[in-house]
Structure 1
């Protein structure tokens, strides 16, 4: 099988990169040519990991055996006149989840067989607004992608069978069976999960997700930059260290900036609905993330250094309060974290926008941002812990190379969703 061969090739690529010295800790001694060769080995290792994880897959361009009609109005009328159930698939070329649905789920042999008696309809919403207006004239409202709608034989839309995200073939088959029974309301996975597990568990998981993001390659390098400013330590000299109460105020302002940044994002997502999540799948956004990840990877390979301007670092580290500046600094760190937080944040935003609850959106993003900033907060208060942060040396160079490989792997993942 081709996919198995890809995984074997991926393992070979990674081993070759390791054998050729991708983890060799001599980044500061490399000439420009040798640094470029090291970058090539990093890409080779990242590609190997991507192939092993199934991120890189063989293209599935098989033509669907179903006849997907594009004349939406006539097809729906035909279904009503002939008392046949209908399914409407709304997708776009820039929507990664749409392509995943069409290639993996709607082309599945069992799904195809289950839909044989349906009138199958597809509308391309790559040009979103005109397609949305076209459907609105039929009384069909679509604000997000992907979207699959089921219609009863009498022409009524079956709201309870609506699908608004990727679903594997096995679950989609269950949805097809259930679509034969009219359901007034769509299944609310968020509400059901919260009622079963409780909001406390949900908030704890979101907090831990934020804590995990703070340890990713996007955020971890910011600790040596941010913590001295928060604690009043200049160039390793602790003699000017601020009192505990002042460190508490500065750390709180810094954390408050993060909270405001992500809480605003949660509220906007709840107000706009899951269409906001669809927008995040647009190729412009995706390719921007790819470029950011690759630039971060290059910084770990010492092509250049990412650091705050010395003037700004000095200003933030002054003994004066400067709480507003620190709050803006915290918000900026939150934005810097966005690439690595992307998969987590998009998942949380999808959950928030599905529920459409502004208060829930605000609470969830407060929990996430508190998790993201908790280590900054704790380390700035208990400065003795700063000495335990990893220092330079061969070990840290290998860690940084590992970060570069991880970031490149994520860049490959994002690129694969739009290729």
Structure 2
């Protein structure tokens, strides 16, 4: 019979844990029979010792077994989801989900809220008047089955991998977040439990991402692809750049407005490029690779799905989005080529203005955030507006400006920064 102390010492000493040991541990911790301090000690041992592929798979599936697994097999079209590891200005889910649905797939997108410098998809969509994030399982099924909608973006239910929710909160306060096996199993336990037949992972790399270098990002992506494939989910991962923020906005309603521009056939070039790249990967993974998502943007089908998706969750796509009451303009201090705009600094500034939160449960301001008027590679002139800060609380401007101190550089040579850095290839299962 397993016990927590023996498993802690086994992992501390480098022994591989068995499937049965891991299954007992996760189930017992979820039931409250293994104490937080014991799981903290084991998590720290994992940070230092790591986990094998077999251990990581067993850990992931043990967390899935603590809750409900969605069954989407009755849907009349193939199912595919996308997950991003989080960045600044990363509004890609908003145009992507209706775009892929317009091309014939069902898109069950269980998303989260922002924490720290990264924005949350649910916070963004909640800036649309009336829109609801919390849906019952029957509502999710009905929206996905509706031939006029086919995409849902909502909160994961409390019964979906509940072990992960408990373990993540513990890791957050014990310095054990930074373990690639634990990060991968946290993400993939929810994504596999979601029940989609295919999954595309957008693993961000750079200053504004959790993974700061390509090697770590590639390791995380490979681990997640392996977990997906082992679980019977067709899985591919892209490594994408996050040294600079995406688009021209970071904030909730600001990013919704920019996403609508993309759906209308315009929008920032990088947001359009990444949206179409991920859409093509999703359609290929779903077996619909003969379709061109760019056509669905041009002919208005993606916009029609966006409006239908909002209405299906109580939102009003015709209503005005919230705007912040106060603005503050940051000007360029010299002329030349903008060679750097630091994503982390912009994300921190947006959060300090009220667009994000520092702890779970804090409210956010729908209209708060940052707009930038030039991207790396653009010419700027001293004195021109470079960034505009938005908030309902002008006392926040000083802290936001402090976050932006040193956040950009001006020089002579435009930077070279490919948006897609690498692809961890789709493995057929």
Structure with max Cα Rg: 1
TM-score, normalised relative to structure 1 = 0.23
TM-score between both structures, scaled by the size of structure 2: 0.23
